[in-house]
Amino acid sequence: MYEKRQNLDTRTKIVATLGPATWDEPMLTRLLEAGVDVARINCSHADHESIRRQVARVRRAAMKLRKPTAILLDLQGPKIRTGKVPTPLPLAAGDVLTVVMDESYVGAGHRVGTTYPQMVDDVNPGDLVLFADGALSGQVVAVRRGEPGEVDIRIDDGGELGSHKGINLPGVDMSIPCLTEKDLGDLAVGLDVGVDYVALSFVQRAEDVVELRAAMTGHGQGDIPIIAKIEKPSAVERIDEILAVADGVMVARGDLGVEVSIEKVPVYQKRILSAAQKAGRLAITATQMLDSMERNPRPTRAETTDVANAILDGTDAVML
């Protein structure tokens, strides 16, 4: 149970993700009283009507408390996934999985479809491929272009592969567009109801941010701040050029931790925050901040140290 305090002004701001447990106005009011500065709408779990409802509720709660509260619209971005599999595919180390460049392909045996047909053009033998947030992994051993194309992957870490599981390609520059049709639709609704920030997922290069800015300008709102989510190693390598066109960055440690070895995440976090400070841009540190408090009333000592280190490294906000 939180302790209500009168003075909640802090230099480091708190971004809170809205969800089913926090949608009603009494709970939103409690969140704002507890110190939330920014409400995040996760478009991965929102349709147009829910975006409108959530914005209206936050505005009413903020007005009631007379507390300035910003709203961050977090666009889903491209989701690279496996196709449909009637029953999970058992894959052992040494098996060769063939990924078919056809979203409608129904997987069986050692074959599965994908929502990412450009994969056949983007990968090369030796590239690492991760499935289901890294639960399964393997290396590309063959690429066959055709109708449809196919990619063979030798499994290193096995398990069961089910339907619509995520696919990650660490170190691969993906040719998939950063903005999807869903993103553009969600963006139009968010701008219409007056969100204050827009976060762009899976940014790889400065051009991705420029594309979003152009879409926002088309709606007459090109001056709304853009937060580039840094989730791929290629984005870390291009952090300076991304910061030159974005208004801020988010250290999205969840997907970044899948794309790179876990020990590199703290190093990349410090590098991103340092670059943002030098560029005079906003920085948000996200993912598993005080994660244990979803189940326990108090954070662990390691979690408090994690938050403190992010602040000492110069983050402007932490995201829950």
**Catalytic sites, residue numbers:** 40, 81, 229, 287
Exposed, middle or buried: residue 245 (CB in 10 Å: 0-12, 13-18, 19+)?
A: middle
Residue for token pair 């147009």: 48
Neighbours of 107 (CB within 10 A): 24
The residues, any chain, with a CB within 8 Å of residue 284's CB and separated by 6 or more, are 15, 227, 248, 249, 250, 251, 315, 316, 317, 318, 319
The residues, any chain, with a CB within 8 Å of residue 219's CB and separated by 6 or more, are 187, 188, 191, 192
Alpha-carbon distance 121 to 143, whole Å? 8
Q: Residue type at 231?
A: E
- Residue 114's alpha-carbon distances to 77, 101, 131, 193, 234, in angstroms, are 16, 6, 11, 35, 22
